[in-house]
Structure formats: C-alpha cells, structure tokens
A and B are shown apart, each in its own frame.
Chain A
Amino acid sequence: MVALACVVNVLGQALWHSAFFTGYLLLGSFGVLTLFGVRKRISFIPKVGSASFWMQLHIYVGLATFVMFGMHVNWSVPNGIFESTLAVLFLIVGCSGVYGLIITRAYPAKLTSVGGEVVFEKIPLERARLASRARALILQSGESAEVLGQFYVNRLAAFFEKPRGWMYLAMPSGRLKRQLVSDISDLNRYLTKDQREVGEKLSQIIEDRDRLDYHGALQGRLKGWLFLHIGFTYSLLLLSIVHGILAHAFAGAIG
C-alpha cells in the first residue's frame, strides 16, 4: 500500500490522472476477488491453489481495495449520482466482506465458549426437540403441578414453540433466559419438592434452548453476511465496468 501510495503520488506530480491507474487496479482486484468464488466452484481442478490460499488472497486483496478506492476517489466523497451509487455498492460489498472476516474469526470462539455444538441446519430440529421435552415434562407432572402448568402456558410455551425474534438475532442476549429461570425459582415457594425438580429441569431446558438460539443467531450471521457480500458483487462489477468505459470515453486527455 505504501508503494501504491508512492506511485500515485508520483503520477499526480507528473500531472497524470492517477485515478485511471487506481481505477484499473481496482477493477483488476475485483477480478481477483471474484475468482475466489470461481475457485470454489472448480475445486475439482488441481494446481489452482488451495481454498485456504485463495481465501487468504481474497482477504488481503479485498482489504487492499479499500486503500485503492480511497486513492481513486482522492479520499473524498463522490458527488455524482452514478459514482455515488458505485461507491455505496463498493462499501456494501467491501464492508460486508470485512464483517464476514471478523465474525468468521470471532464467532467460533464465542460459540465454543457457550458450549454445545450444533449444525446450523439442525437447529430447528433441536429446537423442536427441546420444545417437545419441555411440553412432555409439564404433562408428566400432572394436575398437581398446576402452578408450573400455568407458568408454562403463560410464559414458556411461547418461548419454546417460536423462534427468537429479530431483536435477538441482531443482539443475542441471555436476559430472557435469566428472567425465565428467575421466575421459575420464584415459584419454588409454591411448589413441592417433586415439583421443584420439574422446575429445575425446565430451567435446564430453557438454558439449552437459549444456547441453541445463540448458536442459531451467530451461525445465521456467519451465513447471512454473504447475502450482502455476494449479492451486490456482480452489480458492483457491472457498474465498475461501465464506469471505466465512461471514464475513457469522457476523458479529457489529448487524443
């Protein structure tokens, strides 16, 4: 990047339009970054580098494009409609990539720390099983556990039967879990010893469900950022090519 900055500086002092240079660099970088996705689709072809290599290359080139972009726009905010759109697309794709990079490095540790291991696709199954277990536990306690039954109907049924809302997916927290466990604990004064054991089991199921939801939220993010990163990549490529054509066609250099 330092070398690139020096080159751009030299070009600028030489009255060159360094934007052409950085623009071509950006476009080339986009190509390299796009090849990473291609590489994943042609994994059967050997001698094109490992997926890990391509991943590292994708990461470093992707980060370099931020510097190139800054030099390209001369560290200013584009004010044309087309160029502003292009900049927004670049930022969406780039920033989503950076976000993906961050969470793929940070979330595994978080998931490990909360314990448990579940495949993202099996989370609904596990969630259904937990809900079934909680329902069965209440049913087994019989009419003697009226208090617990009432509590399940009023508070736990919605928790177990429905997935967590968008707020939890955006900011997962154990506040609801703690609240429910605390409420069950508050019911102990009205419960018998057997019923208290049922309550404790319910609390455990609540914690398992919350852990499962936490896994679901984080694993959802790990998969969701690609919607932005890949979803806008081709639009970015398309507009970048058009931008390059326009820049050449409207350039003011002596022909």
Chain B
Amino acid sequence: MIRKNISTDSLRPINTPYQRPHDKLQEVVVHADDDSDQAIVRRAPSLRWRRGMFTLSVTAFTFGILMLLFSSPSIRNEVLAPGGLCSAHARILAEKGTDRCASCHPAAHQSLAGWVSTTVWGPQANQPTQSELCLKCHSQSLGDDFAMNPHSISPATLQRMTDAVASTTQSQLDSISRMPSPVYDGKVACSACHREHQGDQQSLSALTDAQCQSCHKNAFHSFELDHPEFKNFPVKRRSSIAFDHASHFGKHYPASKTEFSCAQCHPSDSGNVVQTLAPFEQACAQCHKQGIETSSAEGIALIALPTLDVDAIENQKASIGSWPMAATGDFDGPLPPLMRILLSADPQAAEVLNKKDDQFDFSDLDPDNAADVADSVTLVWAIKRLMFEMARDGEASIARRFQVVTNEDLDAERLAGLVQALDTHALRNAATRWLPDLQGEVGEQVPIYNASIELRRKFELQLARSRDAIYLGDSTERALAKVISEFAQHQNDQSREIDGSQWLAVNPLHGLKQAKDNGTGKSGDQNEADGQEAFTPVVEESQVEPLVQRPPNSPVSDTSSKNTPDPTELKLPTVKDVGAKPPANVLARENEAQEQSYNQQEWAVGTTPPQNDPSREIDGSEWLAVNPLQGLKRMGDNAKGQVDDEDAGLPGKEGNVESIVQRPSNLRSSGKPSTNTTESAQPKLPLAVDNGEKLPTKNLAPENAAIANPYIKQGEMEGSEWLVENPLAKESAHGQTQKTALVEEPKEKPTVDLGKENTSQAPVANVQVPAEVKWPTELPPIKEGWIRDDVTFQLRYQPRGHADPVLKNWIDVVSKLPQSQTASALSPAFAQLISREGVGDCRRCHTADQQDDRSLLVNWKAVYRNPDIAGFTKFAHGPHLTLPKLRDCSQCHQLETDRRTFETYESFDAGQAATNFAPMKVADCASCHQAGSVSNSCTQCHNYHVAPEAVCDR
C-alpha cells in the first residue's frame, strides 16, 4: 500500500522540498549534485503517515484479537483468567474444564453486552453474588445463616462480645455499625479477604495482621511487645465438672495412696490437639460410683395417688368418683414434685397448690376442716383429669402442661427430652389400672387440646429422630422416612393393634353392663336408645359380650367366645403383650414378695383363702376398684341375702358395681351387696407389678395358684396373659362353677379389630379421640427402670447409676424451666432434681449455668470443646509437647493449692472462671512466638471464621 504511493523519480529544485507535516507523502532525495540547485527526488510516505498507519494497524489487530476471544467462550475463559487458582480450587474445578469460571463467577456465562450492563447498571437482581456461589461449597463449614457476617457469627453475638471486651479492656473495636465499607448490610464478601487467582502457591486463607486490624483498631505492633495480657487464659470459664484439682492433688489422692497423674484424666485426643478428659468410668468411678447409686436408690416419682379420707369427704357431701380402696384412709401422701408441676397446669389445682407451701402433703389436710376437704376434692379431680389426659395423649399431655406452667413453647430439644424421659405405656398402664373409670368420670371434662395434637406431631418427629440416633445410625432424613413409614404401616394394621387412646375408651364396666343387657335381651344400641348408656362401647358388642365375665347366674351364656381374649386385657396390655421379654430384675421379685406379704396380711384378717368362683369374676377394672376390706363387708351383706344382680354393673345407678364397690360409703348407705355368694367377697388387691415378671401362677396347682396370687380369678389374669379358653364358656357348658383357670400362654396373640369397630359403630358419644391424637399403636414395653407400684400407687423411675438417660432428661426438662428456682409449683422439682443434694447426685459434679431467660443449662459433658469447631482462639498441644521442657504440664499449668473453686461451682453464673491453676501470661508464649522466631501473627493463634457453637457460653 505504501509502495503504491511512491511516485516516480523527478527532478526538482532541492531548496523547495515538498515537506508538510500532515502530508501523507514527502519527497526523498535520490540524487543531487553538489554544484546543482536541483536533485532527483522520490515521493514516499511521510514518517507521520507511516506512524499513523502503524498505530492503526496495531489497534485494529488488538480489536480483532478481542473479537476473536469474545466469540469463543472456551478460549475466552482461558485468556481472560487473571491468574492461576490456588491448588485446592484448581484441583476441584479441573474437571469442569473451561467452564470452571462459572463455578465462582455469575458473569462467566454472560456476553460482552452482559458485562457492560453489569458494569454500568450493576448485577442483575436474580443473579447470585460471587459470595453466594462460594457458600455453595463452603456453607457446610461456615453455616448458612451468618457465613458472611464478621467472624461468621450473628451480629447480635458479635456486638455482645464486642461490648463485653470494650467494657473490660481498652481495646478499640469498631462496632458493627461502623464496620469498614466492604461490609454491606453487616456482611463481608468472601473476596474482601480471600483474593483468588494468585497462583497455586498462594495461601488463600492467609490473612495479614493489617486485615485483622481493619476492624480491630487497637493496632498491635507485635505479639511480644504490646499484645494485651491474657485474662485467665486458658480458663475462659469454669469447667463443666466441679472438680477441685487442689484437694484431689493434696488430699484425696494421697489419702487413697494413688499417684496424681495429669495424663490419667487428661489423655491426648486422637489428633494430639487437645488434652481431653477421660470418661467417668476411667477417671471418677473408682471413688464416686457407689455414692451415685446410693443417692438414686429411692428413685423419682412421676405420679402418685394420695391416700384420701373418703369418710371426711363424704361428710362434706363431696364426691370424688371412684378411687382405689387401697388408697383410702386418712389423708396422706405427698405430691411428687413433677406431678405438682403437671397439676399446676390445671387452673383449679393451681389455685389450691398456690395456697399450699412447697412441702405440701395430704397429711397436712385436716379432715374436719371443710376447706381442706374441699381442697382435697379439687386436687383429686385434678389428678383424675391429669391421668386421663396422660392416658389419652401420652407425652403430649405432659408437654402441654409444661407449656401451660411455663407459659412458653417447648423447643425441639425439650420435646426430645420428654420423649426420652417418659414411658407412654407406663402412663397409660397406671391410669387404666388405678382409675379405670376415668373416661366416664372426667372424659368430657378434658377436651382435646389443639396444643396436644400439635405436640403429638412434634413428638412423632422427635421419636423418629431419637430412634434414628439410637437404632439406625443413619441420616436423619432416611431414618425419619423409615420410621414414619413404620408408623403408617402400624396404623394400617389395626387388626393387631389397639390405639392407646382406646384403652380408656373401653369402659371397664361396659362388659358388666352388656352382661346385664344380655340378660335382659337388650343390645347395646338399644340401651343407648334408652338413654341408659353412659359409656360408648368401642369394642363391638358381639365381640365383647362373650369376653365379659358375667355373674354366674347370668341367664345368658355364650359358648362362642372360646379362644377370644378378654377385653379387659385390651386395657391392660403388659410387657408380654407387645412381645417384650419379661424383665427378670430384682424389682419384680421385690414387688412379688411385697405383694405376697400384702396378701398374707389380708388373709390374716380372718377370711378364708380365695376359692375359685366365677361369681366373683368381674372384669379387670374391678381389681383396683374392689376394696380388699369391702369383701368382708360384703360377706356380711351377703349374709343378709341382699343381692341385686340386675343393678350390678350399671354405671351411674345407685347400687351398681361402680357405685357400690368403688365407694364403700355408698355401699354402706345403700346396703346392697354386690354379689350373692360369700365367695364373691374375696378380697381383691391390686397387682403390684406390671413391668416385672409374671406371678408364678402357671406352674402351681389351681388352688395354690390362687393362693399365690389371689387376684387372678378364673378366666382372668394379669394383663400380660391371655385366655386360651373362656372360663365362662366352660362354666356354661358344664353347668357348674369352674374351679380353676389355668393361665396359659397363647400360641398366637389374639387380635381385635377395634379400628373397624370404631368406624362402624356410630355415634361415638364420649370417646372423642380424633385420629390426630392417636399414638402409634406399636407401643414399646414399659421401659426398663419404670415401676408402676400398685401398692403405693406410684409411677416412679429408678435411675441406674451414673449417666442415667431418663433422669438426665428430667433434669434437663426441669432445669430449662425459667422460673424453676422461684415458682412454688416448680421449686420442689427443682429441689429434687437440680439442687446439689438432688436425686442421683448429678449436680454435685455437673455444674449448671443460668441462661438469659433464667433457665438453667446443666453441663452434662465434661468437655464441650470440639477441636473441629473453630473458636476465636486455637491452640494445639501436640506441637508444644514435642519440646522437652513443655512435656511437664506444670510448665504452663501451675497448680496453686490455695485457690478454692467450689464456691464458684455452686453458683449458676458460668462466667466465673474457677480454676486451681495460675493464669498464663503473654510472656510465657512470647518467649518463643516473637519476630525472627516462631510466628507471631494474629492468625497464628486466632481464627477469623468462628463456628457459632464456639461462641456460646460454653
């Protein structure tokens, strides 16, 4: 192109060259004579023109290269990358090839126009930020909530910590409101500190001291020169376990002639990072195990029925409905602290309890004082409502009552605690055993609480999670799905299962009523139509009828009931019913011995040993209702020949079984005996054991079996056993009284399709148990440790030494009640469980910290520090212990025997740093960590990203 512009040579005067700055061409002399004024010149491109063309060419070349780049994304990403990635990112993103940029940069998939748009108008609203893309991978370690907040903790926590530091030191930290500009809305972009594309040799996590001091205005020149002095380092707070190193070192170990060795209780962890604390069995059990077992020997009562002076109550013309005869006499019996809490949720009971002191006992009531008697009646009905609700709703009822008392929702943790701390089966079992008429008496008074329904759902989730943790060892989601599917399967299989809420729905006296109806030729429906049915039968009448143990003179006998289970067994399923192994523990034997002793006392009254007589056969609900002494009275009544079988078993009618048998005073007033034979007056006492072994009746001769367990009647048995043959059927067939009823194990568990009956039998009047309230039907056996004591009418738990999970959960539940230290309803439970003298001696060693809401948090773990959870300060023992002089622990941890610590452990203030060791000094560390020696940078000992768990008070 340039050559085209070159003109042919021409002869021109040399003094007038064709030269102008902006001319594209200029004249170049080719030949000139020295003596001539003219020269041969050639027109050629000027220098300026050449420069312009060069500039244009370079610019056009550059532009062309850029266009080529932008048209090829793969090449573009490679060329535009500002530098190599760090090795970790490079390794992870290598498989993505040229598309790896999009892993971190939302703009990687945009065009040039998109980039210009982003530059001019900012990123699109729906476009994730780069930090959000970072958290796609790093949220697992940083969490989702506060990952981009300073130190990855909540602003409130950071502000609280900042204020705390500022109040105690001269440190100048910027408050969150005055954070540097890169902090937008309290958040810091990841790239503010982590600058990528510096090559594979860079440390992406390396921070400079200047970066730290962008917020920490109190600039330190170096660690060894002006770092603030440690404050009680390394003891930021008292230890979780109340332990006096000084006394153990100077007193206890020498007394036991044992060498005091640090490593015995503080072995290194697997990572050689921290010195952990050895488990209880290794470090403490040798000296403390026996004391713990002794302290928990009495157990802890959840429910207890008080002894009532029914005469005094009757004298005041008050009514308490049915009540176990064995629990009558003079007013007596304390309210277990936990029961007191539950009763406090009942407004009427709360009004009474608020008038009483913390140590209220029924023996404090004056039977001649009308107000005291009225209070007792109020409490009795409250107890009945409590037990009915417990039986119907299980743990949900207790959770609801806790919520009412504390006026706050139970969080998931406490719900989980209740799941672990309760035994639904034991609750229902106790209620149906002791107060079988609850449905009729208080069923309509206790509504279905929406709170309970909601809590039930939560319980199911918590139960699923706990099962997951205990059994499956699997991910929570999978375990939850599995357990829920199990629940659904069980609920669909109703032919083999009975919902717990239905136990009470089966009216224990219904069978008797049906017997009567059968005798009169009426059906249950007809009775309902007659307005005589106070209870709604849940079990279909055709099934119930042959199972009901009728009076011997019943005109109707039904032989079709062979091999059909006793419906009362449905109310009282026992360990065997659900397939669990009968616990052969000492408690069972004790209960058995206790029961036999009790029997002997009864026989000593002068009655004859019980004879097997079907006429005495009433359904199991009567066992508790029958006053053992009532039989004696009946004997007298029988002598008068006053028998009204027709009235027997008609609830709500004077002279029926319920009113007569369960209320001796009524019996006395009516003067009607319940049976027509003297044998029917056999004293009946409650079975003492349900979670224990079966009473040894099976292998005894019938007479001996009856002696051994007089409460087992013909055709009737403990709840754990099932009839093979209906004794009534035999009686009917043989036309004579069945003398014996051997209890045999069923070869196959009988089933009753209650669910079907429920749906087919309408209307359901009193049983208002919606599907939401139903508990999963496959109930576990009574958990080990739970005791339903039918002698003292207590449902209590016997802790099993150290780290008993149930006791721990109860302590957790009670400790987290914010008013537990002051409210009168809660203070007894607090004294029983939380005080240092409480059951199990738990709090003697495990400290409790008061929370902001005044609740307590018991420190069950000896060491909460997890080396995998990053705190503000990090320290690894391992590298230090490689130095010979530091292998002696006392080099850094100097024991000061005159430091007393137990006073601080008794307090609930966790902020008190109780230690027997002298605090460490900066100089101790700075002897090595200084300029020119071991690193003295901020990040040598401090983390920036702090796990939220690390900044809690522990």
Contacts and interface: CB of A to CB of B under 8 A. Distances in A.
Give the size range of A's interface with the partner: 35 or more
B118 A249 contact: yes
Interface in B98-139: 101, 104-105, 107-108, 110, 112, 114-116, 118-119, 122-123, 127, 129-131, 134
A244 B119 CA distance: 8
Interface string B157-198: 000000000000000000000001111110111111100010
Interface string A133-150: 100100000000000000
A198 to B, nearest CB: 15
Contacts of B182: 14-16, 253
Given A121-B17, A125-B14, A255 B29 contact: no
A81 interface: yes
Interface in B189-235: 189-193, 197, 199, 210-211, 213-214
Contact of B210 (A12, A223, A244): A12
B28 A78 contact: no
A68 to B, nearest CB: 18
A255 B17 contact: no
A227 B190 CA distance: 44
Nearest to A130: B34
A254 interface: yes
Given A231-B58, A238-B62, A17 B29 contact: no
A79 B187 contact: no
Interface in A234-255: 234-235, 238-239, 242, 244-246, 248-255
A230 interface: yes
B89 interface: no
A83 interface: yes
Contacts of A231: 51, 54-55, 58
B769 interface: no
Contact of B193 (A15, A223, A250): A15
A31 B118 CA distance: 23
B81 A253 contact: no
Interface centre among B19, B61, B211, B214 (most CB of A within 10 A): B214
Interface in A73-99: 78-83
B148 interface: yes
A125 B119 contact: no
A80 B84 CA distance: 7
Contacts of A133: 34
Interface string B390-427: 00000000000000000000000000000000000000
Given A129-B34, A132-B33, A255 B62 contact: no
A13 B105 contact: no
A232 interface: yes
Contacts of B199: 79
B115 A246 contact: yes
Contacts of B119: 244-245, 248-249
Contacts of A130: 34
B210 A13 contact: yes
A124 interface: yes
Nearest to B130: A252
Given A14-B214, A249-B115, A132 B62 contact: no
Nearest to A124: B29
B80 A121 contact: no
Contacts of A254: 129, 131, 148, 184-185, 187-189
Contact of A132 (B19, B34, B104, B210): B34
Nearest to B51: A227
A16 B180 contact: yes
A122 interface: yes
A12 B941 CA distance: 23
B678 to A, nearest CB: 92
A238 B51 CA distance: 18
A187 to B, nearest CB: 23
Given A242-B66, A245-B115, A78 B39 contact: no
Contacts of A242: 66
Interface in A202-230: 223, 226-227, 230
A17 B191 contact: yes
B38 to A, nearest CB: 11
Given A125-B17, A129-B34, 8 more contacts: A15-B180, A16-B182, A79-B83, A82-B81, A128-B30, A250-B105, A252-B129, A255-B122
30 contacts: A12-B210, A14-B180, A14-B214, A15-B193, A78-B83, A80-B83, A81-B78, A82-B79, A121-B19, A125-B14, A125-B17, A125-B29, A125-B39, A223-B47, A227-B51, A231-B55, A231-B58, A232-B55, A234-B62, A235-B59, A235-B62, A238-B59, A238-B62, A238-B66, A242-B66, A244-B119, A248-B115, A252-B129, A252-B130, A255-B127
